[in-house]
Amino acid sequence: MSNYRPTIGLEIHAELKTHTKMFCDSLNDPDEKHPNVNVCPVCLSHPGTLPTINKQAVEHVIKVGLALGGKINPVSKFDRKNYFYPDLPKGYQISQYDQPLVLSGELNGVRIRRIHLEEDTGTLIHDEKTYSSLVDFNRAGVPLMELVTEPDVKSADETIAFAKELQLILRYLGVSDADMEKGQMRIEANVSINMGTKTELKNINSFRFAREAIEYEIKRQKEALEKGGEIEQETRGWDENKKRTVSQRTKEEAHDYRYFPEPDLPPFETSVFGFENLKISIPELPKEKRTRLASEYSLNEKQVGVLVEDMALAEYFEEAVSELKALSAKADPKAILNYLTSDLMGLINAEKLVFADLKIEPEHLAHLVFLIESGKIGSRQAKDILAKMFETGLDPEEILTSEGLHTISDEAELIKVVQEVIKENPSAVADYKKGKTASLQFLVGQAMAKLKGRGNPEVLAKIFEKNL
């Protein structure tokens, strides 16, 4: 039924990376394991306390707005959104209602309606055995960005692509780690058919669940409409076990929240945050980086994708390539890419490390590739050296010297081995003399085995030719 077109609008929350919380000086530490450590009278809402605005959080949101080509609201303000829940000590959340920080923007062809700043709630820990709940306020008051799109998204795939690109941009900007599993990024999807009545999908904590929930919901709504039924406006959650969306509550309206201006925080002019300086601090963004890397290094989409996924990895790659070019004009950047994405990633993953833990300097990786390309070491030997570099962070040349691994090119040293091999392999020698050139490769291989891979194969071949 092609006239049933899904329409999806997204509301994406991201916890911002700041030193302190949104309205007080308690630490914003997502890794804190002990409950209720990073709290103070302000974020615990003791009566008589006053909020102060975290400048870094506002700057983060303005940066996101600028990066997405949005208009920054000249005057912005905070509002109270009133509701009760045990994880919300104030009984209201400080958010932004009619004057958000960012008024527009665009990403992946999806229009952005607004981006605003608010505070996160605490977390509840439910104990099913005793039917009791505990509350941890470490997260209460952590700066939270909310981005709202127009209903321009047309499928679950487009939702995931949008959310992943946003996640990457937030990381590039350094404003959020945006880890879905840790709840640092949360996706809410408003789903309807042809802009009819929408349902809001909430509490989805992975990209996979988001895709499954949206696909399910589109199908559910289509089937209901085809049967002549109606869609009820409601909030639905994802039941991972039953693989379906389930009604959670009928949707509340804005007037239920009794929004009103936060009386303790006056409206403010955003120009005081200095847009020009914030613009300068925006790095090359993923989209531009993909285009540039592809043309500059002749990489395909997949290769570029791997690099751009991690800003540090892409930077490392470019630095290593530039070091390699300094050593040899005809060096191939793809050799660097291959070592980075296969061998090194393998070592990093095997040790359960992350890329940032890598001890090898880009110039040392470049040096290794240069040693291989110039025939000073073989690719098998390179693997061992790379493993040592990974452990120690040393330059490959240093490792060659200290481990006595230097390739032997000295004829005087190699001739003895050649003579031994000739003596031990009379039939191969006879074959070679009859014109079977492949036998030379075999003999060189025998010599390499005796030399534990350290012989220079070209020099060895020459000595064989001379002595046969």
| Site of interaction with ligand ADP (CB under 6 A) | 7-11, 148-151, 190, 192, 195, 198, 254
Name the residue nearer to ligand ADP (CB basis): 151 or 333. Answer: 151
**CB-nearest residue to ligand ADP:** 9
- Least distance CB 108 / ligand ADP (angstroms): 15
List, in sequence order, the alpha helices (H) in 71-193. Answer: 156-173
- Least distance CB 98 / ligand ADP (angstroms): 12
Name the residue nearer to ligand ADP (CB basis): 7 or 176. Answer: 7
- Least distance CB 111 / ligand ADP (angstroms): 9
Name the residue nearer to ligand ADP (CB basis): 80 or 454. Answer: 80
Q: Which two tokens stand for residue 168?
A: 């990457």
- Least distance CB 202 / ligand ADP (angstroms): 12
Strands 199-204 and 185-193: antiparallel
> What is the spatial order of strands in the sheet that 92-95 belongs to?
92-95, 79-82, 260-261
For 108-143, letters b (16+ CB in 10 Å) and e give eebebbbbbbbbbbbeeeeeeeeeeeebbbbbbbbb
Burial of 48 (0-12, 13-18, 19+ CB in 10 A): exposed
Query: What's the gap between Cα 128 and its chain centre?
Result: 35
Name the residue nearer to ligand ADP (CB basis): 32 or 165. Answer: 165
- Least distance CB 121 / ligand ADP (angstroms): 18
- Least distance CB 11 / ligand ADP (angstroms): 5
Of 70, 69, 94, the C-alpha closest to 81 is 94
Q: How many CA atoms lie within 13 A of 205 on its CB side?
A: 7
- Least distance CB 97 / ligand ADP (angstroms): 11
Name the residue nearer to ligand ADP (CB basis): 234 or 361. Answer: 234
Q: Which two tokens stand for residue 305?
A: 């994708």
Name the residue nearer to ligand ADP (CB basis): 252 or 288. Answer: 252
Q: Is 462 left (phi over 0), alpha (psi -120 to 50) or beta?
A: alpha
Query: What's the gap between Cα 283 and its chain centre?
Result: 15
Name the residue nearer to ligand ADP (CB basis): 150 or 397. Answer: 150
> In whole angstroms, how far apart are CA 118 and each of 22, 92, 143, 234, 394?
8, 11, 6, 23, 47
- Least distance CB 195 / ligand ADP (angstroms): 4
- Least distance CB 115 / ligand ADP (angstroms): 12
Q: Which two tokens stand for residue 118?
A: 């608010």
Q: Which two tokens stand for residue 286?
A: 């993923």
Name the residue nearer to ligand ADP (CB basis): 7 or 167. Answer: 7
Name the residue nearer to ligand ADP (CB basis): 154 or 406. Answer: 154
- Least distance CB 196 / ligand ADP (angstroms): 6
Cβ atoms within 10 A of the Cβ of 329, count? Answer: 7
Distance CA 409, CA 341 (A): 31
Q: Which two tokens stand for residue 418?
A: 């050649």
SS3 132: strand
Name the residue nearer to ligand ADP (CB basis): 187 or 463. Answer: 187
Q: How far apart are the first and last CA of the chain?
A: 79
